Structures are given as structure tokens and as C-alpha cells.
């Protein structure tokens, strides 16, 4: 797992120069003490009130976060936007659910369009509206994060939120979320993984079937298992 590499890199910083090459130490495949961030209850309540103000007519019983990750850093990792729209609509068939869209400031406009297509009355666009700490707080008060392979998979792993991560071109071995509450959907096609740190996350692929073939129904089914709905 890539966490082993980062752990070794951090420990190497405090090793004596005479110990080269660094690091002469065994790093376990499962690092037991994953980073956990505890958010004060006052901050949780403040963000919940702010979230409620975004949809005053809709009681926040179950909060489902969708991270569509529309950036162009590694486009092959994207799940089709139309799938996120259909997924959002399917989720909102349950009257207890509220969908919240997360993302960077650059993704805000795309998420505005997603919210309109899903259901503007029960979908909150929080893209670009949180600091990093507020994003972690949002994870701590929500009931599920559904995301493709991107940073939020790992940020959310610092909290106890259930995570449903959609993997395709990336390695589920190297980059699997460390949270015990994470579930990964990957079709494990013969061509996967095709992007890694060894090829600068570049691939000759121009048709990411590894993501396109993950159906909305697959995601809905796993969501129902996680939430018991």
C-alpha cells in the first residue's frame, strides 16, 4: 500500500546519514494506527446548521455525499456524470435521504448542473464552499460518501464515515482507502490498473470501460447493504 511508502519516507527523515540507503526497517503491510481526526461537537453542530440552511424544507435524516471528481488530473478515473445524476435520483427515492455534492471550487459550476438534474430541492451543492477542516467535519456528520478514486477517499478515511469507492484505472492494492468502513467497487478488468506512480499516472487508454461498466445498479445495491435500506 502507498501508505507504507509515505511512512518509510517520513521515518527516513529522522534516520542518521550513515544509515544510507534509507530505510533499514520493516514496514508492515497494514499500518495499524491510521490517522483519525476527532471533530469537536460544537463544530459538527455548526456545520449541520449551515447545511440545513441550504435546504430548509428538507429535514436532514440521512446525508449521502457524492464526490463526482470532475477535475482533469486523471480523467480516466471519472465515473460518467450521467451515472451520478441517475444515482442521485435513485437515492432520493428514499424520503430520508439528502444528497450533498462535494468538490473543489473549480468543480462548483458542474455540481450546480448536477444538483439541478438530480433534484434541486433535496440536493445541496457544497462544492467549493468548505475549508479542508470543514470538509472533514462534513464527513463526520454524514452517513455515506460515494466517490471515485480521488483524494476524498483518503481524507474521509480519517473519520468513521462509511465510504463506497469506485476504482478503475488505479490500483486497489496501492491506493485502497485505509478506513475499515470502506468498500471498493472494482471490475478488475485485465487492463487494470493502467495508471500508477511508475508511469506518472498516464495511460494510452482513451475509453475507460473499467469505470463505464460500473453500473448505477451496482452502486445502489452496495449502498443499500451499507445503509441497510
Judge whether 153 lies within some domain.
Answer: yes
Note the pLDDT tens digit of each residue in 166-211.
Answer: 999 887 877 788 888 999 999 989 888 878 777 777 887 888 999 9
Judge whether 20 lies within some domain.
Answer: no
Write the CATH number for 112. 3.40.50.2000
| Number of domains present in the structure of the chain | 1
Judge whether 154 lies within some domain.
Answer: yes
Burial letters 65-77, b for 16+ CB under 10 A, else e: bbbbbbbeebebb
Note the pLDDT tens digit of each residue in 5-45.
Answer: 767 777 777 777 776 777 777 776 666 667 788 999 999 99
Contact 190, 210 (CB under 8 A): no
Range of the domain at 137: 34-227
Angle at 139 between CA 118 and CA 162, to 5 degrees: 85
As a whole number of angstroms, the distance between CA 64 and CA 80 comes to 18
φ, ψ at 67 (rounded to 5°): -110, 100
Q: How many CB atoms lie within 10 A of CB 36?
A: 10
Judge whether 1 lies within some domain.
Answer: no
Amino acid at each position: 500500500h502507498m501508505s507504507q511508502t509515505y511512512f518509510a519516507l517520513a521515518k527516513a527523515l529522522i534516520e542518521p546519514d550513515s544509515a544510507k540507503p534509507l530505510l533499514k526497517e520493516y514496514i508492515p503491510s497494514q499500518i495499524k494506527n491510521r490517522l483519525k481526526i476527532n471533530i469537536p461537537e460544537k463544530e459538527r453542530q455548526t456545520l449541520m446548521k449551515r447545511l440545513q440552511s441550504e435546504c430548509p424544507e428538507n429535514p436532514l435524516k440521512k446525508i449521502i455525499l457524492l464526490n463526482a471528481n470532475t477535475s482533469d488530473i486523471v480523467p480516466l478515473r471519472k465515473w460518467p456524470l450521467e451515472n451520478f445524476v441517475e444515482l442521485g435520483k435513485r437515492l432520493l427515492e428514499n424520503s430520508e435521504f439528502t444528497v450533498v455534492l462535494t468538490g473543489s471550487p473549480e468543480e462548483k459550476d458542474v455540481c450546480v448542473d448536477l444538483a439541478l438534474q438530480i433534484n434541486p430541492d433535496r440536493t445541496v451543492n457544497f462544492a467549493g464552499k468548505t475549508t479542508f477542516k470543514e470538509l472533514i467535519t462534513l464527513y463526520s456528520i454524514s452517513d455515506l460518501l460515494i466517490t471515485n478514486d480521488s483524494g476524498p477517499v483518503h481524507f474521509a478515511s480519517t473519520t468513521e464515515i462509511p465510504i463506497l469507492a469506485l476504482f478503475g484505472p488505479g490500483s486497489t492494492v496501492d491506493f485502497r482507502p485505509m478506513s475499515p468502513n470502506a468498500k471498493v467497487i472494482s471490475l478488475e478488468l485485465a487492463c487494470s490498473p493502467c495508471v500508477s506512480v511508475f508511469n506518472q499516472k498516464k495511460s494510452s487508454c482513451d475509453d475507460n470501460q473499467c469505470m463505464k461498466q460500473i453500473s448505477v445498479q451496482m452502486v445502489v445495491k452496495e449502498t443499500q447493504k451499507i445503509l441497510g435500506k
